[in-house]
Amino acid sequence: MGMTLTEKILKNHLVDGEYNIGNEIGIKIDQTLTQDSTGTMAYLQFEAMNIDKVKTKLSVAYIDHNMLQSGPENADDHLYIQTIAKKHGIYFSRPGNGICHQVHLERFGVPGDTLLGSDSHTPTCGGIGMIAIGAGGLDVAVAMAGGAYYIKTPEIVKVNLKGKLGEYVSAKDIILEVLRRCTVAGGVNRVFEYAGEGIKCLSVPERGTITNMGAELGATTSIFPSDGNTLEFLKAQGREEDYIPLSADEDAVYDEVIDIDLDRLEPMIACPHSPDAVVPAKEVRGTKLTQVAIGSCTNSSFVDLMKVANILDGETVHENVSLVVSPGSKQVLTMLSENGALAKIINAGGRILESGCGPCIGMGQAPSTNGVSLRTFNRNFKGRCGTETADVYLASPEIAAVSAIKGYIASAEDFDGDVDLNIEIPNTFLINDNLIVRPAEAGEDVEIIRGPNIKPFPKNKPLEDLITGKTLIKVGDGITTDHIMPSNAHLLPYRSNIPYLSEFCFNQIDKDFAANAKKYGGGIIVGGLNYGQGSSREHAALVPLYLGIKAVMAKSFARIHKNNLINNGIIPLTFKDSDDYLTIDIFDELEIKNVLSGVDSGEMTVLNKTKNLQYVMNLDITKRHADILKSGGLLNIVGQLVG
């Protein structure tokens, strides 16, 4: 029996455990990436391990999130990251060089290698044939120190693409269709592997769009083969030597097969407030818009923005619409400026933002009150854009550009048939890596500079056998890390200041949460399905830890957030009987006895002393997780894992 592409790469990097579905395995990590929203904390954790140099093949620190500098905090964090990168063997991508996933795809991704990033959209590099996984910052720090990264051996889903994309249909529509079918929880502990004749019509950046937004499935990662299209892209990037052909065996066996007929696919759109609320764009055609935002790590490539420029050429953005465009990298921005495409966008009324994440993470360009924003981004959770009352839709750059002209959500019938949308990958990309700083040869001579905003990260103490506390908050299904620890233009500059951030924990849901946590000396969180979905931000575990949270009781957890809770010594419990969730109210007094034996057995009993009820809770963890929880977090035992 042949192997899938995923199996080939994972087995080639296996360093711990047996490769059986559901089993925990440890894999060797070749490359890591961080960005400045999560990177400061990751490097503080790396420093605590007392490792002189990173032990990966390549590690890169990107500045792309906290770009608005209304005070010294962001600049201070950037300087800290730059100096620690210089000292410890990490490449540093300066502000303006571009979004981490776009730049890594262009300049660093290597087929067949593994990549771990402190950003949930790290799977973008699956578009070049990597096993690329998003994780919490501490996991990335451990990988930089030479430790393995642990995952459950995933199920592998084959997405079989048939036919060829039709007119006005793009790679974005493929992943929106997968999300429509599978939902935001449909990828947990699964890898989506793309194959079939249809992949031949997709360039590496287009494949990156699909693997990027595969993060919204909750998947471990997504991946495409490394084939002729991969070679074409690497040649154009001057990196032909990095190419190796990689694909699944013809007789590979998959756990599920999803067939998508590209000939029948039409422009799709995700409606507020979830990436899986997907319908054909024609069903919401005519919805009036106040804003269109094009860019993000999902759709800001050269090909994407060339299509946008051609659609806007000679047109004018509708008077009621604000159009902003964020090129994904300096390479893209420079090429657009040199070939005249940038002028087309500007002349039409588009506003050019710097090459960074920007509006996607609520860092600027928040819509108006009750505004309607159409974006080419990957997430549209309520309030993420910076405006709680706004409705955000997600669609392709082509649909977004036409909609900006029309003033409403457009569909295929709104396109001008004379516009050239057949953009090919250029034979040669503009290559200028002058904003990538190499690490120092003698790192011991580099002084690390720390601004006053950089505070120590919280550390837990070893687990005790009795946990008591009040239910500090009870939330519903689909709670995101944005809900737990908001990320916006005001808070992003304080990502390295956990005490300050703690004042805003769960602020969108309960403004008294932080005050109550302090009043009662911590407590327990109760949640619904897929608790902690969305961003990989470790702050959604670190801030609750700082506030004294001992456990989270939920119907189910998103993969990365569950790992982040465990890594920081917070117990993630799931209801054995989901109806028990209904009987818990805020401020109920809860008690968990025999915690240490429960960690070993995988089951705990929680007593609701207020209502005199008992709940049997599952603790779905491995022996390694149990050791981490008992020790009070991964950092307390990291010396045993790296050397």
Write down the mean pLDDT value for the chain.
96
pTM comes to: 0.95
In the chain, the amino acid numbered 65 is H
Find the helix or strand (DSSP H, E) in which 286 lies: none
- Range(s) of the domain holding residue 114: 5-264
What is residue 640's predicted lDDT score, i.e. its pLDDT? 66
Last residue of a domain, one of 264, 299, 326: 264
Mean pLDDT computed over 589-618: 97
The residue from 414, 449, 476 where one domain ends is 414
Q: What is the pLDDT of residue 521?
A: 96
Residue 526 sits in the same domain as residue 592: yes
Same domain, 253 and 333: no
Closest CA to 433 of 503, 524, 331: 331
Q: What is the C-alpha separation between 250 and 319, in angstroms, rounded? A: 54
CA-to-CA dists, residue 125 to 249, 367, 429, 449, 625, angstroms = 21, 30, 18, 31, 28
CATH number at residue 517: 3.20.19.10
Same domain, 333 and 239: no
Structure tokens at 321: 């619409």
Q: Indicate if 387 and 495 belong to the same structural domain.
A: no
pLDDT tens digits along 136-191: 999 999 999 999 999 999 999 999 999 999 999 999 999 999 999 999 999 999 99
Residue with tokens 């992949």: 199
Residue 250 in domain:
yes
Cβ pair 530, 478 in contact under 8 A? yes
Q: Whole-angstrom Cα distance, residue 618 to residue 598?
A: 9
- Residue 420 within a domain: no
94 part of a folded domain: yes
In this structure, is residue 549 part of a structural domain?
yes
**Which residues, including other chains, have CB under 8 Å from residue 141's CB and lie 6 or more apart?**
42, 43, 45, 46, 49
d(CA 599, CA 627): 9
- For position 61, what pLDDT does the model report? 98
For tokens 């159009």, the residue is 323
Residues 499 and 386 in one domain: no
In a domain, 425, yes or no: no
DSSP 394-417: E--HHHHHHHHHHTB---GGGS-T
Number of domains in the chain: 3
Last residue of a domain, one of 393, 414, 435: 414
Evaluate whether residue 495 is within a structural domain. Answer: yes
The answer to whether residues 397 and 538 belong to one domain is no
DSSP string computed for 419-479: S---PPPPSS-----TTEEPPPSSGGGPPPP--TT--PPP---PPPS-EEEEEEEE--TT-
Q: Give the H or E element holding residue 503.
A: none
User: Residues 53, 87: contact at Cβ < 8 Å?
Assistant: no
Same domain, 250 and 333: no
**Across 596-614, average pLDDT:** 97
What are the structure tokens assigned to 481, written together? 């890390």
Question: Residue 109: which CATH number?
Answer: 3.30.499.10
Note whether 238 and 296 are same-domain residues.
no
Distant-in-sequence, close-in-space partners of 508: CB < 8 Å, separation ≥ 6: 383, 388, 482, 483, 486
Is 348 in the same domain as 401? yes
Q: What type of residue is 186?
A: G
Tell me: the pLDDT tens digits for 203-252? 999 999 999 999 999 999 999 999 999 999 999 999 999 999 999 999 99
Residue 505 lies in a domain: yes
Token digits for 429?
């990309």
- 56-115: per-residue pLDDT in tens? 999 999 999 988 888 899 999 999 999 999 999 999 999 999 999 999 999 999 999 999
Q: What is the pLDDT of residues 427-452, one digit of tens each?
A: 999 999 999 999 998 888 899 999 99
Both 313 and 348 in one domain: the answer is: yes
pLDDT at residue 642 is higher than 80: no
Predicted pLDDT at 99: 98
- Pseudo-torsion of CA 370, 374, 379, 384, nearest 10°? -30
Domain match, 259 and 280 both:
no
271 pLDDT exceeds 90? yes
Q: Does one domain contain both 278 and 402?
A: yes
Distances (CA, A) of 494 to 276, 387, 529, 533: 31, 20, 29, 22
Identify the band that residue 527 occupies on the pLDDT scale cut at 50, 70 and 90.
very high
